[in-house]
Structure 1
Amino acid sequence: MAETAVQASPTRGDERLGFILVTLSALFWSFGGAIARFVEAGDSWTVVFWRSVWAAAFLIGFMVWRDGVRGTLALFRDMGLPGVAVGVCFAIASTSFVVALAYTTVANVVLMQAGVPLLAALMGWIIFRERVSLPTWFAIAAVIAGVAIMVSESFTGDVSPIGDGLALLIAVAFSSATVMTRRFAHVRMTPATCLGTLIAAVFAATQVSTVLVSGIDMAWLFAFGALNLGLGLALFATGARLIPAAFAALLGTLETVLGPVWVWLIHGETPSARTVLGGTVIFAALLVHIALEFRRQAQPRKPGVTGMPAPR
């Protein structure tokens, strides 16, 4: 590792930028379900392969546009072990998601993913002593409760150790990536997310039955990969390094709330009453927590206080 791990000292302006970028990443990710409804390819591994390929192409193009060819190569070289670890985490999460759905219900997977903010908060506190305030713990609990309400009517009572184990692995991998992105804030993680998509594409290529798709499907897969996954990853990797890991993971749950809304508006799939109720609980918890966060940021710092923002 070329550099020693250091904790970033973002300004309040940086924190607000991080909040905006992570929120936008959740917004772009939330369109995933609506876009997936347009794809007619029968093999899910074909979808994973092309989605990962287009995401990688977008991220490489974005870095070349922003930093040039030499700068992009330098980013990959300088990301070191933290970047490789984050890339592996994203690859594990995206691949495990597809495999988990073959063994367990969507409800179980979504409920496991609702635990990401809690796991990120615990990891940040245990490993790096990044303290989490009581309001954040309450918001995390409200999010988990809201997701439980959303998916409660889908529970079948069947338990699959493999499927539920993979669903838990998704949450652990994404939480780990979030915490490492924050901890190694001096490392640019966009190439790490690109590495993750490349790993996922290579693995999917070993499982796919065919890579041939129609022209219309390819257009949707481009949107699914480049805009939904690639742009979302770029925004998250940039923003998550500026705000506490628990807060970044908490904002990411907006994807759970907005996803059913886009499917309803675009495809006419009316969400159930429990979905609406659970989404309302999550959205209200996030709005209250965000309002409290901006109120805290608006308060003047005490004289002589520098470095890390006040613990949340």
Structure 2
Amino acid sequence: MTDIASSPIAVSPHGERIGFLLVFLSALTWSFGGTIARFIDTGDSWTVVFWRSVWAAAFLVCFMIWRDGWRGTLKLFRDMGPPGLAVALCFATASTSFVVALAYTTVANILLMQAGVPLLAALLAWALFRERVAMATWVAIGAVIAGVAIMVSESLDGAVSPIGDGLALLIAVMFSIATVITRRFSHVRMTPATCLGTMLAAAFAASQVSEFAVSSRDMGFLFAFGVVNLGLGLAFFATGARLVPAAIAALLGTFEPILGPIWVWLIHSEVPSARTIVGGAVVVTALLVHIGLEFKRQARPVRPGVTGMPSPN
């Protein structure tokens, strides 16, 4: 019997257009993360993690209270269970690693590796749950692995820090795991999980930070880094992703790794290396082609008598 909570909701054309806009705005908002971070002068990455996470948690709590009320918000936290806790741990690790990685590698390296998250998630779903993976997806996964290998190869000859590339890869893996868990438990609302993730990140950073004090200028950018870049982006995505097909949401999400390096290049003159550009182009191209094929498959009308489910034989 199909779980009603995990069934697609009926969306009007107007609601779908709003969903398109919200998911695009989430990718656009997230794409400014590296640019904002480069304005912050605070030398301790843990101070940045702490204040960014605190501001993001405050925003997400206020957002859920506004949307669901006090009782509804508390119920969301109670109902998320182990899947929500696992997503929170993944998100805390990824958001912390993003800030720390910025001290070791370029924004382009970090974001372009994240572009392969949907395909890495498909690989993990196959490895952990034996979910069927189409041949086109296997080809795309191979291309993503090749593209990431090109980018990471710079750390092997000392051109960039292996710590930075390692953290960038860790971010992609954590997001992939969170994606698989979210799909597996689609009836669980994950907004409180991401909020808990920011709280966990803030708590861990508080144990590592050298000092909490920052200048008023840095606090302004940390507010934007936490509330606008992280919190508002999550609110846009959580609201809009339920209104559009998964393939379209993934396609719109690619605007983050595409636009992020452009903003940093235009505003901070941070030019990606040749290998980052080549490897990133391979990753983004593989993702766009795969999503295009998937969207075409989803849009194909189902013949009478065909359920769209694989044969048990």
Q: TM-score, normalised by structure 1?
A: 0.78
Kept in 2, the 8 Å contact 1:89–1:196? The answer is: yes
Paired amino acid for 2:125: G
The alpha-carbon deviation at position 230 of structure 1 amounts to 1.7
Partner of 2:223: 222
Q: Matches of 1:158 and 1:273 in 2, distance apart?
A: 11
Partner of 2:293: 292
1:50 is the counterpart of 2:51: yes
1:138 is the counterpart of 2:136: no
Partner of 1:8: 6
Q: Matches of 1:132 and 1:254 in 2, distance apart?
A: 25
Within-5 A mapping of 1:115-154: 116-150=117-151, 152-153=153-154
Q: Matches of 1:277 and 1:164 in 2, distance apart?
A: 16
Q: Matches of 1:121 and 1:210 in 2, distance apart?
A: 41
* Worse overlay, 192-201 or 269-278: 269-278
Q: Matches of 1:285 and 1:146 in 2, distance apart?
A: 9
The alpha-carbon deviation at position 105 of structure 1 amounts to 5.3
Partner of 1:64: 65
Q: Secondary structure at the match of 1:10?
A: coil
Q: Matches of 1:159 and 1:153 in 2, distance apart?
A: 6
Deviations 1:127-179 (A, max 9, x none): 33432222233333333434444565565449999877766544433222111
1:190 is the counterpart of 2:201: no
Kept in 1, the 8 Å contact 2:113–2:172? The answer is: yes
The alpha-carbon deviation at position 70 of structure 1 amounts to 1.7
Q: TM-score, normalised by structure 2?
A: 0.77
1:258 is the counterpart of 2:262: no
Partner of 1:87: 88
1:87–1:308 Cα change, 3 Å: farther
Q: Percent identity?
A: 72
The alpha-carbon deviation at position 214 of structure 1 amounts to 1.8
Paired amino acid for 1:173: M
Within-5 A mapping of 1:107-118: 116-118=117-119
Q: Secondary structure at the match of 1:232?
A: helix
Q: Extract unaligned runs of 5+ from structure 2.
A: none
Kept in 1, the 8 Å contact 2:23–2:252? The answer is: yes
Q: Matches of 1:227 and 1:308 in 2, distance apart?
A: 41
Aligned residues: 304
Paired amino acid for 2:49: V
